[in-house]
Structures are given as C-alpha cells and as structure tokens.
Amino acid sequence: MLKRTILAISMLLCLALPVHASPMHPRISLLDSEGNNVLESGAAVSPLNTCGACHDSSFITDTSFHAWLGLGNYGIAPGTPGYQALDPVTYSYPLAQAGQDPGSIRGWLRNQGWRHPGLAGDALYSGDCNYEYNCFLCHIATPDNLTRRDVVTNGDFGSAAQATLAKTGIVTRDPAGWAFDPRAFNPDGTVSAATLGITNPSAANCGQCHGPVHLGDSPFTLDVGNIPVTLSRTGEVFSPKRPVDSGLNLQGKAGLTAPWDIHAARLLKCSDCHFAGNDPAATNRADPGAPRHLSVEARGMSLGEYLKAPDHSLARGYGSIPAPGGFTVGNMRRCGDCHDAAHSHGWLPFTELHLDSLSCEACHIPRLNAPARSMTDWTMLKAPSTPQAEYRGIAGPLGDPLSLITGYQPALVRRDLPDGTRRYGPANLHAAWLWVSGEQARPVPLDLLNEALFFAGKHHPRLVNALDIDGDHRLSGTELQLVTEDAVQAVASRLTAVGVDSPRIEAMLRPYGIHHGAVSGRHAIKECAQCHGEGSRLATTVALASYIPGGVVPEQPVTGHRLLTGVTVTTAVGGLAYSLTATDPGIYLAGFHRWPLIDLLGGLLFVLVVCGVGVHAALRIAARRKPGGGH
C-alpha cells in the first residue's frame, strides 16, 4: 500500500511539473561579456559568463569538441590532400584551413558557423569574431535556431546567443537591435529556469544542426528549402512517428508502419547514447583494467560534482567525416551495450559469424524512406552557395511535392575499426566534385567561389557567355555541368581572376555511415538472399552521378574507417557508378561466392555421367530387344 501511495504521488508530481524546464534549476542572472546583468548594461548576453557563474565553463568548453569544430588537427594523415577534410555535402571544412587572417575566418563563420554552437578559448577572439560558445542552443527547450542562423550568416556573430533566446520572450528584436524585455525578469534581475526553459538536451536540440528530428504532433514533412544535413547525407530520420502517418509522397506508404526510428519510438534521446563523458548515470562501467569480478565502478562522482563540471566530450562513434583530434572516439553506447544480440538471434544460422561480420544496422536499417544525396557538384553552383545535387530514393525533383519518394536500400560497406572489429554496415555512397587550389589542394573558400561564379546575384556574365548553349542569357540544366574542357577552363579562369591559385577540379567518394532509422526485429531484414543470393547487397552497383564534372573520377576514400572494396565505373550515358565487390578474403557468402571453374568442371563431369549412363542404358535396351539378346 505504501509503495502504491509513493508511486501515485510520484506520478502526480511528475505530471504537475513543466514538461521541459528543469524544476530544480535556480534562477539565472543573464550576464554580458563584462559580467554585468544584461538588464542593466543592455549588452549582448554572454552564455559562458552566465552559465559560468555556477558551472565550470572553462572545463566545459575545453572538453567540448563542439567548441573546437573547425579547429586544430582534423585527424588527417600528413600528405593527405587538404580537400579530404571537407564534408562535401555541406562544404564544411576545418577553420584551420581557412587561414589565419580575420577575413577568411569571418567568411568561414558566415558560411559554416551556424552549424557550430560557437567557439571558445583563444579561438573565440580570432579575427575579432566574438562568436561565443552558445549554451542556450542545447540547454533550453525552445531555442530559435533559424533566427540564430540568420544573424550568423549575416556576420553578426555577437548576437547569436541573444537570437537563440528569441522564442523565450526574454529578448525582442526591433530595427534598433536586440533588447531584453524586463517583464520576463524577476524583480531581482534574474530569470527563472522555467522562463528560460532550461532543460537537458533533447533530441530536438541536437536535431537543430544534425537533424532531422521530428518529435511534434504534426505529420513529418520535408522543408525542401532547408534540408537537414543528416537527411542529405543519408536520409536518416529520427522520429517516433511512422512514415505512413507522414506528409510525404512515399511509395508503398500504407505498408510503412514501422516507426522512423525504433529508439525514438522507445523514447530514447540522443544523449542516451552520446552521453556526457563523466555522466555518473551512464559511465559507471568498470575500466577495462579493473579486477575481473567488477563490472560496475560504484565510486563515481557525485551528481553535484558532475553538474558543476560536466564533461562535454560527448560519447560518440567513429565518424564518417574527419573529426577534430584530441577527443575520444568510439566510446558511445553501442547496440550491444543494451541488447543481447546473441541471445535474441539464436534462430540465425551461424549467429556469431553473422554478428561478427555484420553491424546490427545492416539488417535493422533495411531501407531509408527518404531521399539522400548521391552526388554534389560544387564546381558550378546553381545559386550562391548552392551546389548542384542529385538524390537517390526519389523519382523526380526534390523540391516537387509530387515527386514520389521511393526510398533506397543502402549499400553494405566494410568498416574496419581501431578496436580490430571488421563489420559490414549500411552506408550512403556519395560522390562530390569541387575546386581546389594550391599545392595542398585545399578547397576553394565558398566566398571566393561565389565571387568567381556570380555577379549581382546572377551567374557572372563571362560564364554566361561561355556556357550558355540555348541563348537564353542564363545558365540552367546541363549548361551548369562542366563536362567539356572549354567549360572547365571558363570557370577556372574566373577563379584565377578572383585570386585562386592554380584552381583544378578534384573528386571525392565518401560513404556516409547509417546508424539511425533502425527498426525492430519484426521489420528487420530476414531474407538471407539479400546477401547470399546472386544479387548480393555486398556486390551491387550503386549509381552515383549522371555526369562527371571535369571528367575527374574519384579515388577511394582516404579518411574514415569505411573501406570500399570495389571500383568506380562510368556508365554508358557518361555518368558514374560504384561497383561493390565482396572480395574480402575473410568473408564467405554461401550462395554468392561460387567457384566458376569448379562449378563448370563439376557440372561437366555430371553431364558426362548423365550422357554415359543414358547411352549405356539405351544400348542395353537395344540389346535386350534383339532376338536372343540381353538377359
């Protein structure tokens, strides 16, 4: 009875609490960069000073790779061409590559900065950018990321944190600038945690930059003007809802009843797997060096110590794109940390072999019900900062709501991890073309590219003169495809004119790993023939691009842990495809791996025996029919 009463009271208390805001968080004084209350100074809010009044903001920014994105060593091996550090979907490349002059850094921040929560340490003041690490972006329930993005792309980096609070009612924006609304503040100049909406980071917070995360009540739709980066890379959607209930024009929609992501449907959030480095609730497993009888390290730090200095090097896997060095990788919660696959997959022949050779995602992400990029062409932009792109998983233009989204089945790509494991897992193969410059083959900065290709918002007249085929004085369709030497030279000349050193086209092939969008066992792949048949997924041909800019064929990826065991092939219509081959000597796929010579000789022998037997039997019958013959 007592237990029931406690449970009932606990549930009522939970229901009585606000959904988002942390009820235990004390009131907050919003401070500016000088440490003064913003209500008094009217200056822009400084998240690091505000949160740093109680939390160890220096420790947080030192440990947060989010604060160091774009800086430092990106784990690229010496001698690797500079463009290999680029994420070709977003044209995001390390800030360090932008050079150290303020102009380059500001340009980089305008184009790429909104993808980052901000900078910290000495980098914060590089080039007088004052793009401060923004705690609000992840720790309030209603961050206004679109407004923040707007101010960052306009170069107003100092207002980024302020803009993030635009939906809280604390701050307003008028033609004169940003102003704090005193009505949202307590008489002592503080704001309550509820007003600010202080919360643990939810999946929606992460989804602002990594997206798409859809947790709301409305049907999931695609904003074609703002395709989230993860969707472009892979087509992954993190949502508890079902495709059948979405607002998308999906092929076979009525049958798509599995949630977009089973983990989202089971109420997991990103930080459950990508937890804080010293979160006592997540990191109490004993170290590998602990005595064997200990599986849990009970002597964790207290909650108070953790809240004072939470380690922001969030646990993570081994990324598809280069990541800043110096931070731990491969420490996130993996499938096996929660699921006992060996126990639940006893029905699977050669269970251990399958579990050792395939990632869980190989079967539990059978299909992506969304389009994903197959190629991105940065050699000639459609509009400023807008590349030409082709998608797989959609029949028709991406922006057309009538285009049927067919979804796609990802390729299975080998992944060799530093812990010695080698598994095949799903990936979206993506090819990209871009201009590079200098001996180190660094990507041409986007600002320079825009300057070379455009004039007053339209394609540069010299390019129009050189590339306009239909005489309509504008460039569109195939006119934008640099597939002839003359077209390449025309753009190269423009790049040289704006100061790019020895511009040339490079191509890169990158498999983007797919880890979200998992389905339960009921919807997972169970057809052995998908891998074991003649059309094995491990040896399929994946279309990449309908044309090859500059005729440059990409080489094998040199970064990341995914190894493509195949070859690029040009198609009959001048496009590019990748032919995967399951030639790994450690892998044997019954039903797929055959021995043509053995099968030929064995089959021949069998046929010879059949013929011999047939002839012998016929002769016996003939002999028997002779008068006095046979037995």
Partner 1 sequence: MQRVYIYRKYVRLWHWVQAGSILALIISGLMIHFPAATGAFSLHPAVNAHHLAAAVLLLNGLLGLFFYITTGEIRQLSIQLRGMLESAVAQARYYTQGIFKGAPYPFEKTPARRLNPLQRITYIAVMFFLLPLQVVSGSLLWLGGHQYIALPPELTLTGLSLAHTLAAWLFCSFLLMHIYLTTTGRTPLANIQAMVTGWEENGHAPGQKGGHADG
Q: How far is the CB of 348 from partner 1 (least distance, A)?
A: 8
User: 591's torsion region: left (phi>0), alpha (psi -120 to 50) or beta?
Assistant: left
Q: Which of residues 335-374 bind partner 1 (CB under 8 A)?
A: 347, 349-353, 356
HEC states along 307-362?
HHCCCCCCCCCCCCCCCCCCCCCCCCCCHHHHCCHHHHCCCCCCHHHHHHHECHHH
Q: What letter does residue 443 receive in the DSSP assignment?
A: E
Q: How far is the CB of 623 from partner 1 (least distance, A)?
A: 4
* Greatest CA separation for the chain: 127
Q: Which stretch binds partner 1 (CB under 8 A): 90-98, 110-118, 391-399, 598-606?
A: 598-606
Indicate whether 631 belongs to the interface with partner 1 (CB under 8 A).
yes
Q: Which amino acid is at 583?
A: T
Site string for partner 1, 571-590 (x = CB under 8 A): --------------xxxx-x
For 293, the token pair is: 């009888």
Indicate whether 601 belongs to the interface with partner 1 (CB under 8 A).
yes
Other Cβ atoms less than 10 A from the Cβ of 385: the count is: 16
Q: How many residues bind partner 1 (CB under 8 A)?
A: 43
Q: Contact 70/116 with Cβ under 8 angstroms? A: yes
Out of 2, 15, 24, 598, the only residue in the binding site for partner 1 (CB under 8 A) is 598
215 versus 528: smaller Cβ distance to partner 1: 528
Site string for partner 1, 193-232 (x = CB under 8 A): ----------------------------------------
Indicate whether 609 belongs to the interface with partner 1 (CB under 8 A).
yes
Out of 397, 401, 461, 603, the only residue in the binding site for partner 1 (CB under 8 A) is 603
Q: How far is the CB of 532 from partner 1 (least distance, A)?
A: 5
Indicate whether 266 belongs to the interface with partner 1 (CB under 8 A).
no
473 versus 594: smaller Cβ distance to partner 1: 594
Q: Contact 359/597 with Cβ under 8 angstroms? A: no
Q: Contact 358/351 with Cβ under 8 angstroms? A: no
Task: State whether residue 464 is helix, strand or coil.
Answer: helix
Residue bearing tokens 């539990």:
364
Q: How far is the CB of 621 from partner 1 (least distance, A)?
A: 10
Residue bearing tokens 């909406």:
197
Q: How far is the CB of 420 from partner 1 (least distance, A)?
A: 14
For 405, the token pair is: 């989204």
Q: Which stretch binds partner 1 (CB under 8 A): 75-83, 98-106, 336-344, 601-609?
A: 601-609
Out of 529, 567, 569, 615, the only residue in the binding site for partner 1 (CB under 8 A) is 529
Q: How far is the CB of 291 from partner 1 (least distance, A)?
A: 27
Q: How far is the CB of 534 from partner 1 (least distance, A)?
A: 5
Q: How far is the CB of 523 from partner 1 (least distance, A)?
A: 17
- The CB-based long-range contact list for 449-455 (8 Å cut-off, 24+ gap) reads 449/378, 449/381, 449/495, 450/381, 450/384, 450/385, 451/498, 452/491, 452/494, 452/495, 452/497, 452/498, 452/500, 453/380, 453/381, 453/384, 453/491, 453/494, 454/381, 454/383, 454/384
Q: What letter does residue 227 receive in the DSSP assignment?
A: -
For 476, the token pair is: 């569109």
Out of 146, 224, 567, 619, the only residue in the binding site for partner 1 (CB under 8 A) is 619
12 versus 611: smaller Cβ distance to partner 1: 611
Indicate whether 610 belongs to the interface with partner 1 (CB under 8 A).
yes
Indicate whether 595 belongs to the interface with partner 1 (CB under 8 A).
yes
Q: Which stretch binds partner 1 (CB under 8 A): 137-145, 321-329, 468-476, 616-624?
A: 616-624
- Helical axes 485-497 vs 446-453, angle rounded to 10°: 110
574 versus 602: smaller Cβ distance to partner 1: 602
Out of 527, 569, 574, 579, the only residue in the binding site for partner 1 (CB under 8 A) is 527
Q: How far is the CB of 586 from partner 1 (least distance, A)?
A: 7
Task: State whether residue 190 is helix, strand or coil.
Answer: coil
Q: How far is the CB of 627 from partner 1 (least distance, A)?
A: 11
Among candidate residues 110, 79, 82, 77, the one with its CA nearest the CA of residue 94: 82
Indicate whether 567 belongs to the interface with partner 1 (CB under 8 A).
no
Q: Which of residues 128-167 bind partner 1 (CB under 8 A)?
A: none
304 versus 349: smaller Cβ distance to partner 1: 349
Cα 502 from Cα 78, distance rounded (Å): 21
Indicate whether 78 belongs to the interface with partner 1 (CB under 8 A).
no
* Cα-Cα-Cα-Cα dihedral sign, residues 319, 506, 386, 429: negative
Cα 429 from Cα 413, distance rounded (Å): 9
Q: Contact 244/253 with Cβ under 8 angstroms? A: yes
Q: Contact 180/42 with Cβ under 8 angstroms? A: yes
Out of 286, 316, 532, 558, the only residue in the binding site for partner 1 (CB under 8 A) is 532
Residue bearing tokens 């019900």:
369
Q: How far is the CB of 607 from partner 1 (least distance, A)?
A: 9
Q: Which stretch binds partner 1 (CB under 8 A): 1-9, 91-99, 200-208, 525-533?
A: 525-533
Indicate whether 615 belongs to the interface with partner 1 (CB under 8 A).
no
Site of interaction with partner 1 (CB under 8 A): 347, 349-353, 356, 526-529, 532-534, 585-588, 590-591, 593-595, 598-599, 601-603, 605-606, 608-610, 613, 616-617, 619-620, 623, 628-631
